[in-house]
Amino acid sequence: MSTAEQSNLAAAKDPAIAARVVTNIEQLEHDYRLADGYLSDWLIRMITLSLKAAAPEPFVIENTAWSAYVSHPDWKPTKRIGRGDAWLEIVEFARDEQDHTWLAAAVGAAGTELNLELCFRDGLSGYFGKLESDQGLASKLRKKGFKIDAANKRVYLPIVIKPDLLAKALPSDDNFDEAMAPVREATELGIAAKPEIDALLKLVRG
């Protein structure tokens, strides 16, 4: 049994928690469907628009089935299909091994967080070892705002959206600028670190 499963089982055996869930089950079901469905979909759409607003040409914002990422022609070999060799992707990272909504990740609630993560294609998965061997480059990335998570082998920019601003913005397409400021700021930091990303990509490509 995983740590998350053990935690959930312990909570389910707590009479006060069980009573609270049963008493509020109708509202919980309704709210969860909204949080995991329409509201998270809206959030990702606003995040994507914010990425586009912060990324000048020749940077390009691409969509996946569930998220979005920042790409650049220098990171995409002309003969290779797909995302390329490297990109900056909006990801949800759960530190508690649980499944979470994009809304929870955006505000850093319930053990999860939203990041703009530096990603490499599978064939270049040794990038983290290359980075660890070049502490000068790692230091430069940190100065540009990146966090380097050695335990999980991740390089990312944290994004924390203020809950009160997000609550005011939802679900309008017109009032999200203030709430999405952390997304734009992370995008600008990622773009400013292109020389360092290029240097790391050169190390990895060999």
Confidence label for 79 from pLDDT (cuts 50, 70 and 90): low
d(CA 95, CA 173): 31
Confidence label for 180 from pLDDT (cuts 50, 70 and 90): very high
Mean per-residue pLDDT over the chain, rounded: 91
pTM of the predicted model over 0.85:
yes
Whether 152 shows a pLDDT value over 70: the answer reads yes
d(CA 11, CA 74): 49
d(CA 195, CA 116): 17
Q: What φ, ψ does residue 68 adopt, rounded to 5°?
A: -150, 160
Whether 174 shows a pLDDT value over 90: the answer reads no
pLDDT 10s digits, 119-135: 999 888 889 999 999 99
pLDDT 10s digits, 16-39: 888 888 999 999 899 889 899 999
The confidence score (pLDDT) of residue 80 equals 64
Query: Are 130 and 203 a contacting pair, CB within 8 Å?
Result: yes
The 10 Å Cβ neighbour count of residue 41 is 13
The confidence score (pLDDT) of residue 16 equals 85
Confidence label for 146 from pLDDT (cuts 50, 70 and 90): very high
